[in-house]
Amino acid sequence: MPRPEKSGLKPLTLLTISTRRLPPWKLKSADPDHKYFLMMNSYGITQQTKLSDKFGINKEELSIQGYSVLPAVLNPEECARVAEKLHHIYDRQLGEIEGYTLEDIRDQYVARMPLAYDDYFVTLAGRSPVIDLIRSLMGDYFILHLQNGILNMPEKDHQQRNWHRDLPYQNYTSSRPLALNAMYCIDDFTADNGATWLIPHSHKMEAMPSDTYIRKHRQQVLAKAGDVLLMDSMIFHKAGENHTDQVRIGVNHVYATGMIRPQIDIPAMLQGKFQDDPFLRILLGYAADVPGSVKAWRDIRFSRK
Ligand SMILES: O=C(O)CCC(=O)C(=O)O
Ligand SMILES: [Fe+2]
């Protein structure tokens, strides 16, 4: 491998990759998912992460860089259906408000909580393989904090185009994710139509880095329609600018530990629907109801015995 030329630039970390088949005594330490694999030569290393299951690489990426992409979760027909439904729901929501516009409150082009308008989105929120990955990171008890259809319109500004965390006003880090995002890409996410920008590793930063750092290290995540962009919800990110003449749609989900409240009261909106389903009961927040009295709290404990 040629040596990098001397320049002012930081040298790249060079890894030597051996492509030969490994002798059996080396197989143990390799990724069990791959029959024929590349092995990184190394020295002086006493620990290395091993991929534990089929989501191992996604979990490792989420932990280290704060994001990962699950490819081809939805097929083109499903994407087309989601897009049509979201436009319809957004129009309904426009009809709900009186005395102000969504521009007035900087909430334009977001179809909020579509699951309260169409059961299809309840199924989407609980869908494999995304939900299996979330479960394998957060355990069995997590709630849906929000579900939003993002209609990133050509040349139109909206609130999600500003850098933010999906858990706003939280300026600290945690050793495990407080919440995880799943953004279903309903269209191809391209550089032209405003694919999501993010700052890798920033889920582990308390403060938002400087503008200079952001300009230098931000990344735009390109994805295909049907892929799901997973993020630690504490990563700094934003929607890109759409310079095409077509809308770019994504459906964002935030799955959070049970200690976090939903953004809007999902059980109140669904009025008891799906509460008998053991999984949806927890996901949709029915199980997170705060007992109204000491006795009610104790009754719940008794009912669990
Ligand atoms: O649409 C995007 O690329 C990002 C949207 C977003 O940040 C959000 O919904 O919170
Ligand atoms: Fe966001």
pLDDT per residue as tens digits for the range 198-213? 999 999 999 999 999 9
Ligand 1 interacting residues, C-beta cut-off 6 A:
148, 150, 152, 160, 166, 196, 237-239, 250, 252
Residue with tokens 């860089």: 65
3-state SS, 25-60, equals HHHCCCCCCCCCCCEECCCCCCCCCCCCCCCHHHHH
In the prediction, which pLDDT does 4 show? 44
CA of 257 to the centre of ligand 2 (A): 17
| CB atoms closer than 10 angstroms to residue 268 | 11
In the prediction, which pLDDT does 175 show? 95
Spell out, as residue ranges, where the chain has pLDDT lower than 70.
Answer: 1-38
In the prediction, which pLDDT does 81 show? 98
Question: Ligand 1 pocket test: which of 90, 160, 232 has the largest number of ligand atoms within 8 Å of its C-beta?
Answer: 160
Q: Which domains does the chain have, with CATH numbers?
A: 62-288 (2.60.120.620)
In the prediction, which pLDDT does 38 show? 58
Cα–Cα dist 299/293, whole Å: 10
In the prediction, which pLDDT does 262 show? 95
CA of 42 to the centre of ligand 2 (A): 38
Whole-prediction pTM: 0.87
